[in-house]
Amino acid sequence: MRCIYVFVSFILLAGCSNSAKYIYNEGLIFGTFYHLTYEDVEGDLHGEIKELLNLFNRSLSTFDTASVISRFNRGEKDVVADRFFTETFAKAKEVHHESGGAFDITIAPIANAWGFGFEKRTEVTPEIIDSLMQFVGMDNVYIENGIIHKKKEGVMLNVSAIAKGYGVDVVAKFLKSRGIGNYTVEIGGEVATSGVNPKGNAWRIGINKPVDDVTAAQNGEYKLILQLSGQALATSGNYRNYYIKDGKKFAHTIDPRTGYAVQLSILSTSIVADDCMTADAYATACMVLGVDDAMTLIERIPNVEGCFIYELTDSGIQGVAYTDGFDKYMASVL
Query: For the CA atoms of the chain, what is the radius of gyration?
Result: 20
Fold match between 8-40+176-333 and 53-150?
A: no
CA 150/CA 304 separation, integer angstroms = 31
The answer to whether the CB of 197 falls within 8 A of the CB of 17 is no
204: left (phi > 0), else alpha (psi -120 to 50), else beta?
A: beta
The per-residue pLDDT for range 120-173, each reduced to its tens digit, is 556 778 999 999 999 999 999 999 999 999 999 999 999 999 999 999 999 999
Residue 13: predicted pLDDT: 44
Residue 262: predicted pLDDT: 80
- CA 69 to centroid of chain Cα atoms: 17
User: What dotted CATH number matches 8-40+176-333?
Assistant: 3.10.520.10
Q: What CA–CA distances, in Å, run from 8 to 107, 225, 264?
A: 26, 9, 22
The answer to whether the CB of 281 falls within 8 A of the CB of 91 is yes
Topology of domain 53-150, per CATH? Answer: T-fold (1.10.3980)
The per-residue pLDDT for range 29-80, each reduced to its tens digit, is 888 899 999 999 999 999 999 999 999 999 999 989 999 999 999 999 999 9
Q: Give me the DSSP letters along 171-240.
A: HHHHHHHTT--SEEEEETTEEEEES--TTSSPEEEEEEP--S-HHHHHTT-EEEEEEESS-EEEEEESSS
The answer to whether the CB of 138 falls within 8 A of the CB of 149 is no
Question: pTM higher than 0.85 for the full model?
Answer: yes
Residue 216: predicted pLDDT: 45
Q: Tell me the domain boundaries of the chain.
A: 8-40+176-333, 53-150
